[in-house]
């Protein structure tokens, strides 16, 4: 899938994303991110060029084609992995790139970076649940290949241990089907967890429904905490407690760096505010 969000005389920005399922769907996170980017770029008559790709190799091929055809002035690189080749590829193509993700304290030099402190966000999530009295926690994570998943994993283990609890991790793919399936598996463990952290809203809402189908009441029998404060999290029943970050503002910050990168300024790091837990009706002391 390829879409040209806007056609203007200003900067042209490309973003290649991997779908979360076979239907080619994207995470709701990216809808909010793109809305923020478009809002800022529109002020400069900019264009966002979105392309859905099956894998990292296809993403790199898209970059090369975009440069060969003169389609974009800069790209957004997300979901960083260990040994990520995209920085070197973009540098070799002379293509400015803004990298989303990574710890702001990592001091990545020579890159345009929108940092995000995943470790602090995960600690806040665990501290919210252990503060309510939970000691058996599960975490339904995103794919282990991503750096942000690794950062969250270390923080989850450390925060649960610091609270004297027990934590288990179940690796998902951000899709609703995985969220439902893994919730069924983790609830079959004896003793089962009393609280679950999900790495995105799709898995969390699906996990909530799976728990309810099994006869559990949320939050009396199980507390559920989702990552990112989306409409999905707010309109489900009960409304989900969330690790909240302003994804729209993250998009605005990203667009600001893109504009500076296109102008040839010196690479810089932009750090959004640290995420906070917003407590709603899906978390409570263990029943």
Residue 247's nearest CA partner among 101, 119, 123, 55 is 101
3-state secondary structure of 32: helix
Weakly modelled stretches of the chain, pLDDT under 70: 1-8, 21-25, 102-109
Q: Which CATH superfamily is domain 118-244 in?
A: Response regulator (3.40.50.2300)
Per-residue pLDDT reduced to its tens digit, 166-198: 999 999 999 999 999 999 999 999 999 999 999
| pLDDT score at 272 | 87
pLDDT at 2: 42
Per-residue pLDDT, 106: 47
- Tell me, what's the pLDDT at 103? 52
Residues 6+ apart with CB under 8 A from 134: 165, 194, 195, 223, 285, 286
In the three-class reduction of DSSP (H, G, I as helix; E, B as strand; rest coil), residue 272 is classed as coil
Name the CATH superfamily, with its identifier, for domain 2-116+246-274. Response regulator (3.40.50.2300)
Q: Which residue spans of the chain are classified as CATH 3.40.50.2300?
A: 2-116+246-274, 118-244
Quote the pLDDT of residue 59. Answer: 97
């Amino acid at each position: 899938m390829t879409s040209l969000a806007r056609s203007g005389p200003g900067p042209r920005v490309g973003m290649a994303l991997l779908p979360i399922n076979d239907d080619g769907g994207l995470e709701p996170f990216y809808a909010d991110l793109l809305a923020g980017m478009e809002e800022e770029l529109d002020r400069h008559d900019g264009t966002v060029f979105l392309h859905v790709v099956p894998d990292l190799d296809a993403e790199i091929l898209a970059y090369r084609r975009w440069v060969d055809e003169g389609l974009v002035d800069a790209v957004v690189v997300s979901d960083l992995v260990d040994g990520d080749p995209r920085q070197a590829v973009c540098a070799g193509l002379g293509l400015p790139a803004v990298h989303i993700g990574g710890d702001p304290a990592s001091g990545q030099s020579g890159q345009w970076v929108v940092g995000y402190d995943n470790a602090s966000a995960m600690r806040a999530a665990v501290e919210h649940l252990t503060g309510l009295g939970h000691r058996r926690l599960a975490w339904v994570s995103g794919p282990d290949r991503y750096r942000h998943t690794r950062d969250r994993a270390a923080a989850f283990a450390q925060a649960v241990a610091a609270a004297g609890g027990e934590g288990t991790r179940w690796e998902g793919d951000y899709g609703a089907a995985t969220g439902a399936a893994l919730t069924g598996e983790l609830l079959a463990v004896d003793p089962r967890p009393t609280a679950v952290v999900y790495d995105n809203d799709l898995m969390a809402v699906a996990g909530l429904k799976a728990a309810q189908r099994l006869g559990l009441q949320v939050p009396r029998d199980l507390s559920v905490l989702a990552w990112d404060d989306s409409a999905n999290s707010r309109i489900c029943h009960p409304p989900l407690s969330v690790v909240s970050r302003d994804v729209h503002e993250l998009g605005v910050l990203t667009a600001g760096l893109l504009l500076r990168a296109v102008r040839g300024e010196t690479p810089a790091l932009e750090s959004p505010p640290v995420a906070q837990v917003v407590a709603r009706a899906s978390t409570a002391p263990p029943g």
